[in-house]
Structures are given as C-alpha cells and as structure tokens.
Amino acid sequence: MSNKLFLDSSILVEWAKKTKPSLFNNLAGQTNYTLCISQIVLSEFVYYWLAIGGGKAPVTLKQDGAIPAVFQAHNPLDLLAQMTWLDAGPDIIPLHLRLMQQYNLLPNDALILATCILNNVTQVASFDADFAPACAGEGIRLIRSVDDL
C-alpha cells in the first residue's frame, strides 16, 4: 500500500478550529505517511483559515481590506509547506464527471477523488461522510478517525 495519504480540507479546518485536532495531529506526527493536498483543498482550507484567523466571513475581510493583516498574524505557509502537492492534467475531466454521476458527489469532492485516483493515492483522510460510498467503490481507504489508522 502506498504511503501517500490525501488530506481533505475538513481535516485541516477542524484542526485549525481546534474542534477535532487529534487525527491531523496524529498524522502530522508520523513519518510513515506522505500527506498530500491539491488546489481544491488549498482553496477550501485557506477560505476557512481566513474566517478563523480574521474572526469574520472572508468576504467581509476582503471588503474591509483586512486579508493582508490576517495573513500577517496567522500565515498558514509553514503548515501547508509540509504537504505534498498533487496535480492532475486534462485526464481528470471525464473521471471527475464519472465520479459525480456514479456517486452523486459535489464537484470539489469528485475533483479530490479523481486527483487521488490519477496520482495512485489509496488513502483519504476526511470527516466528510460523502466520501464513504465513493471511496469504497473506488478501492480507496477512508480514514475518519485515529482508530482507522
């Protein structure tokens, strides 16, 4: 089994909110996993990071011109630099659409799963229950708690 493990944004967001930090803390403390993210996770996580760090909705922070101050006080670069970046080319398009149709997935969830498939990632950590049927159907191990490791 590959040691690559894809982190859904829910793992990072719940860690940042300090509501469910144990799974990310456990994964980050282990050397036997390569923790991976993609553009989707980056966008979703940083959106929540702004809200958490700025104490307001990201759109309000933008209107107030406060985004630079939030990043100056709470920059996620060191955290995100620990992750391995996964990308996908145009082959993702038909796979993405198939996953949406077959498993009734929302676009971002289908992009995450398609990215995993195209990069031979066989493990996904997520608190999002929508991944369960799709991961089972695609032979990807879903990790939802420390007990699943």
Q: What does each of the 149 residues of the chain score in pLDDT, given as a tens digit?
A: 569 999 999 999 999 999 999 999 999 998 899 999 999 999 999 999 999 999 999 999 999 999 999 999 999 999 999 999 999 999 999 999 999 999 999 999 999 999 999 999 999 999 999 999 999 999 999 999 999 99
How buried is residue 45: exposed, middle or buried, by Cβ count under 10 Å (0-12/13-18/19+)? buried
pTM exceeds cut of 0.85:
yes
Q: So what's the pLDDT on residue 119?
A: 97
Q: So what's the pLDDT on residue 2?
A: 66
